[in-house]
Amino acid sequence: MGKDPALQNMFSPQNKYEMIRDWMKLKGLNRAPAYITSPDKAPPVQPDPMKTRELDIKEKMADAAVASSTANQAKQAKTIALDSQRLDNANHELQMNAMDKDRTHNRQDLETAARIDIAHEQMALEERIAEQAQKISAAANPNPRP
């Protein structure tokens, strides 16, 4: 009856005990409680140590898998953060290089403009000196020879 799926839920340990007691009475054994113990007075069934050990091993393996997965996720998160930081640093370096080049070009443009201004002033000064020299030479030699 315990193996029949339809009756399995209806055939409890107490039912088995009562059935064995009735069978023993039919056979003339009236002292059934001396031979079998009632399920409510029986000591609790101890789990099979091998099955318990197998369950412990499986549980530890599952815990190890979870820990490994967590460690992998943390490693990937750190790798992503590091890669992101490297990209940010590279972008910052590119921006700094671009700004440095821009400053260099601005400095070069200012130097060129300053040289041009100095050259213009020098040319103007040379023209004034030439005019002054002509005036001095004209004053020193009022009648030039033909």
3-state secondary structure 9-40: CCCCHHHHHHHHHHHHHHCCCCCHHHHCCCCC
pLDDT digits (tens, 9 = 90+) for 24-62: 999 888 888 788 888 877 777 788 889 889 999 999 999
pLDDT digits (tens, 9 = 90+) for 109-129: 999 999 999 999 999 999 999
| Residues belonging to the chain | 146
Per-residue confidence (pLDDT) for residue 142, from 0 to 100:
66
* Cα 36 to Cα 43: distance, rounded to the nearest angstrom: 12
Question: Residue 77 pLDDT > 90, yes or no?
Answer: yes
Mean pLDDT of 83-92: 91
Question: Residue 4 pLDDT > 80, yes or no?
Answer: no
Q: Number of H helices and number of E strands within the chain? A: 4, 0
